[in-house]
Structure 1
Amino acid sequence: MTTTGAHQDAAGATARGWWWWGRRRSAVLDVVLALVSALECAGEGVGFAENAGLPVPVGVLFGLVAGAVLLVRRRWPVAVVLVSIAITPAEMGYLMGIVGLYTLAASEVPRRIIAALAGMSLAAVFIVTYVRVRQDVAAADFETSSWYVPLVSVMLSLGLNAPPVLFGLYIGARRRLMESLRERADSLEQELSLLADRAEQRAQMARVEERTRIAREMHDVVAHRVSLMVVHAAALQAVALKDPQKAVKNAALVGDMGRQALTELRQMLGVLRAEEPQPVAPPPPSASVPLEAVGRAAAAAAAEAASEDGPCLDALDELVEQSRQAGMVVELRVMGEARTYAPDVEQTAYRVVQEALTNVHKHAAGAKVVVRLAHRGDEVAMQVENGPSDGAVADAGLPSGGNGLVGMRERVTALGGVFVSGATDEGGFKVSAVLPVAPASAA
């Protein structure tokens, strides 16, 4: 019978009121055993009634009632064994004693109770057998050795009690082992389900982080370049008729910045369109691959992809020069000995300065800006500070999405750095960031 069929039988038995039986076939088996036991005891009750001087119907009725007790062996195995011990002197209930001892040994009754009842049954069978064999030997009037009657009594008592007890203990231990294995299988299934849910959550988080990273890169590339292009386009419009030479220069700058923006966008899209890696065969069932290791590998791959072909601190001079060509007064101050850092550190530092200059173009037209870059022992610090906006300079009307400072903070904190931004006492704005670094070789 399959597991589903067994569950259906159990459900049907419970619905029909099968009392303590879990399945229909268990109830049928117990009814058949009880009927056979009752018939056996009824037949043996005839001899008991003749020996005790009782009417035969009384002995038969007593045997039927006593043998029918086997029906409750699953619910009250101790009671069945006690009844079999009680009727042993009447030489009745051999089947009930064997089945009762097996059921008792296979049940969850404490071992000391099983041992006590098994010993009582063994003693009762030994005494009855000893008396009966001695009477038969005396009635047969033949000589036997002194050990004959005890030996036969021991062999019969052990033969009727030891096999059912040992077999019942084996079945009970096997049943408990199967239940333990089933519980472990259920527990493992639940753990696998939890691990699968956790892996799905981590995959979802990784997708969200990757989308956020791509959005940050797109914002940095497009916002800065396009902002400078808008500023130069406004200047081109203002001087087109008055100073054709300057207009030509501004037009050339707009073209250069557009080409640079397209180049960076192509690099970014090239990473997204890169050929997908070949699928890796899953590990064998015996192998254990921690999810933390998978997460670390994915994070390392994402960081490598993010830092590949990105800008570095060597390009800060060019970045500042582009803002100067757009009409901004920018001063770059570098402190400490310049070094080469890990690609993600250099790219983050560059993007912080780039986004800060873009915000100055958007929100503080005509303001003077000081860019500071400090190379320290185990960190690199950058600061972009601008003064108040010059009211005489026309605002370029650049739109703002409000994500610049958020993106800078995310970049810096992702590397374990510190990011601070806020207004200054002079009416300007200041952006500061400190990044922990390591030499490029170690990185």
Structure 2
Amino acid sequence: MTTTGEVHEGAATGPWWWARWRSAVLDISLAAVSAVECALEGIQFSRDAGLPVPVGTAFGLFAGVTLLLRRKWPLAVVLVSIAITPAQMGFLLGLVGLYTLAASELPRRIIGALAGMSFVGMFIVTYVRAHQGMVRGDLSIAGGFIPFLSVTTALGMTAPPVLLGMYVGARRRLMESLRERADSLERELMLLAERAEERAEWARNEERTRIAREMHDVVAHRVSLMVVHAAALQAVARKDPEKAVRNAALVGDMGRQALTELREMLGVLRTGEGLAGRSAQGDVPLAAVGAAAAAAASRAVGDFSEGPCLAELEELIGQSAAAGMVVHLSVEGEVRMYAREVEQTAYRVVQEALTNVHKHAAGAKTHVRLAHRSAEIAMQVENEPPSEPGSAESARLPSGGNGLIGMKERVSALGGVFVSGPTDAGGFRVSAVIPAQVA
């Protein structure tokens, strides 16, 4: 910022210390007019002082040209105008210099001191000249009127430019403050927009992960049971036709259930994609897309018809038992209702653990334990070594290796602890503890 309070916007385009060519042209014009004025007044000054006219003219030209420096050194311009006040020259120089000084960023005490010096100088010169003119008879005024004339003249030469300069300087500083505030708000909005994009991208990635986890939990278990029943069906089709019919019915029921859950999930995703596509064409506001995406997210993570709950755990274990697994369920503590996300997570942990038993230890005896505690709910699924080694390979159940990761993510999201690993007896154990959130 310059001493006059002007702000250089971008790179300076004017010559020397001027920010713009327009400012340079204005100051050069003012300096030319001031030089001509001071040169003409220097003629009378040289006659009164008994000096050669060229000396007085050159002195006036030099003093008037100093107005070129008003933007860079306004203090020097005002001092020059005060210095030549006794010579009765530099009125334009004094007016413009005081205005520039008052509009600058200099301390107010310096501006007030120089304005007071200019006032005193103009008052003394006016008083002396008026008194001399009255003595010579050039002025026909009363002696008591001279102080009033001197004060009026001094105020007229100092107060208007100082007040106007202070007003322009204050307005300029206000505009600059508003401009800086607007720039700051714009930067904050850009930062918020960037953060919003980052959060949206994070939410999309998180939602893709959660949907993939849910699809894995929903589909993998039922499809695994279907494969197990199909293998059993193939084995007993000729020996026990009635059992084959029952297995075929179970495969059909599980397939229909899997299709229903897939259809619900894909329907939610298709609705979200439709809204996003219409929003890209301008038909739907972005806020509506955000709300729909949030709703789809909540449904996509298992909120179909309120999702599974612990009350359905016996049915889940019964499906595994029907597939030939020897599974026992034990419940400890007082049974009570929990928050929906807690019950869903506990159900999915048991479901995924049973699915892994079907995949990797078909025919193994399995124990499911559920403990209701005062501040948490704990579950454990432990299977013994398979009775027939290689039974899992005979079923040819594929495994993506994401089941344990998904279970751990679910439990950790609720502030719980998840542990899994092989047992000393050669089996496998899955344990989880989730903080209790009572519904």
Structure 1 residues not aligned, in runs of 5+ = 1-6, 283-293
Question: 1:216 corresponds to which residue?
Answer: 213
Shift of 1:56: 0.9
Which stretch of the first structure deviates more once superposed, 429-438 or 186-195? 429-438
The yes-or-no answer on 1:82 pairing with 2:59 is: no
Q: Any conservation in 2 of the 1:328–1:368 contact (CA below 8 Å)? A: yes
Q: 1:23-422 alignment to 2 at 5 Å?
A: 23-140=20-137, 145-274=142-271, 302-303=297-298, 306=301, 307-309=303-305, 310-392=307-389, 394-395=391-392, 396-422=395-421
CA deviation string 1:125-183 (max 9, x = no partner): 11111100001111228885553111111110111011101111111111111111111
Displacement of 1:281 after TM fit?
Answer: 9.3
- Of stretches 162-171 and 251-260 in structure 1, the one that deviates more from structure 2 is 251-260
Contact in 1 for aligned 2:310/2:347 (Cα 8 Å): yes
- Contact 1:10/1:23 (CA < 8 Å) preserved in 2? no
User: Does the Cα contact within 8 Å between 1:303 and 1:344 map onto a contact in 2?
Assistant: no
Distance 2:432 2:11 in 1: 68
* Aligned match of 1:290: none
Deviation for aligned residue 1:9: 11
SS at match of 1:355: helix
Determine the C-alpha separation between the residues in 2 that align with 1:37 and 1:424: 101
1:431 aligns with 2:418: no
Once the two structures are TM-superposed, the CA of residue 234 in structure 1 deviates from its matched residue by 1.2
CA distance in 2, matches of 1:141, 1:406: 108
Q: Is the 8 A contact 2:411 2:417 kept in 1?
A: yes
Output the amino acid matched with 2:407: M
In 2, Cα distance between the equivalents of 1:153 and 1:392? 120
What is the aligned-residue identity percentage? 69
CA shift digits 1:12-43 (9 cap, x unpaired):
834xxx00111111111111111111111111
The answer to whether the 8 A contact 2:42-2:56 is kept is: yes
Task: Check conservation: 1:424, 1:430, Cα contact below 8 A.
Answer: yes
Structure 1 281/136 Cα, relative in aligned 2: closer, same or farther at 3 Å?
A: farther
**Structure 2 residue runs without a partner (length 5+):** 1-6, 276-282
Letter aligned with residue 387 of structure 2: D
Shift of the 392–406 alpha-carbon distance from structure 1 to 2, 3 Å rule, reads closer
Q: How far is 1:95 from its partner? A: 0.7
Distance 1:423 1:108 in 2: 78
Per the TM alignment, residue 11 of structure 1 is displaced from its structure 2 partner at its CA by 5.4
How far apart are residue 323 of structure 1 and its match? 1.2
Q: Which moved more, 1:32-41 or 1:263-272?
A: 263-272
Distance change >3 Å, CA 216–CA 432, structure 1 → 2: same
Match of 2:4 in 1: none
Inter-partner Cα distance in structure 2 for 1:324 and 1:388? 17
Matched-pair contact (CA < 8 Å) for 1:379–1:436: yes
CA contact (8 A) 2:42 2:60 kept: yes
Distance 1:359 1:96 in 2: 95
**Contact kept in structure 2, 1:9 and 1:24, CA below 8 Å:** no
Shift of 1:328: 1.2
- Residue in 2 that maps onto 1:13: 13
CA gap of 1:384–1:144, structure 2 versus 1, over 3 A, is same
State the match for 1:287 in structure 2: none
State the distance in 2 between where 1:384 and 1:72 align: 89
Inter-partner Cα distance in structure 1 for 2:293 and 2:42: 82
**What per-residue deviation string (whole Å, max 9, x for no partner) do you get for residues 262-286 of structure 1?**
222223234334588896797xxxx
CA 324–62 in structure 1, closer or farther in 2 if over 3 Å, else same: same
Contact 2:268 2:296 survives alignment (8 Å): no
Specify whether residues 250 and 298 from structure 1 end up closer, same or farther in structure 2 by C-alpha distance, changes over 3 A only.
Answer: closer
SS of residue in 1 equivalent to 2:418: strand
Structure 2 Cα separation of the partners of residues 304 and 265 of structure 1: 12
Write the distance in 2 (CA, Å) between the matches of 1:11 and 1:274.
52
How far off is 1:392 after superposition? 4.5
**Cα distance in 2 between the residues matched to 1:102 and 1:338:** 86
Residues 192-248 of structure 1: CA distance to partner in whole angstroms, max 9, x if unpaired?
001111111111111112211211111112211111111111111122222222222
Kept in 1: contact 2:375–2:436 (CA 8 A): yes
Matched residue, 1:4 = none
Distance verdict in 2 for CA 1:273–1:281, change over 3 Å: closer
Question: Matches of 1:305 and 1:225 in 2, distance apart?
Answer: 18
Kindly state the Cα deviation for residue 390 of structure 1 after the two structures are TM-superposed: 2.4
Q: 1:381 to 1:299 in 2, by over 3 A?
A: farther
Q: Work out the number of aligned pairs and report it.
A: 420
Q: What SS class does the counterpart of residue 388 from structure 2 fall into?
A: coil
Change (3 A) 1:64 1:144: closer
Hey, what does 2:280 align to over in structure 1? none
Question: Equivalent residue of 1:339, what SS?
Answer: coil
State the secondary structure of the residue aligned to 1:153. helix
Q: Is the 8 A contact 1:312 1:350 kept in 2?
A: yes
Aligned to 2:329, the other structure's residue is in SS state strand
SS in 2 for 1:109: coil
Whether the 8 Å contact between 1:77 and 1:103 is mirrored in structure 2 is yes
Partner SS for 2:351: helix
User: How far off its partner does 1:407 sit?
Assistant: 0.6
Q: 1:218 to 1:281 in 2, by over 3 A?
A: closer
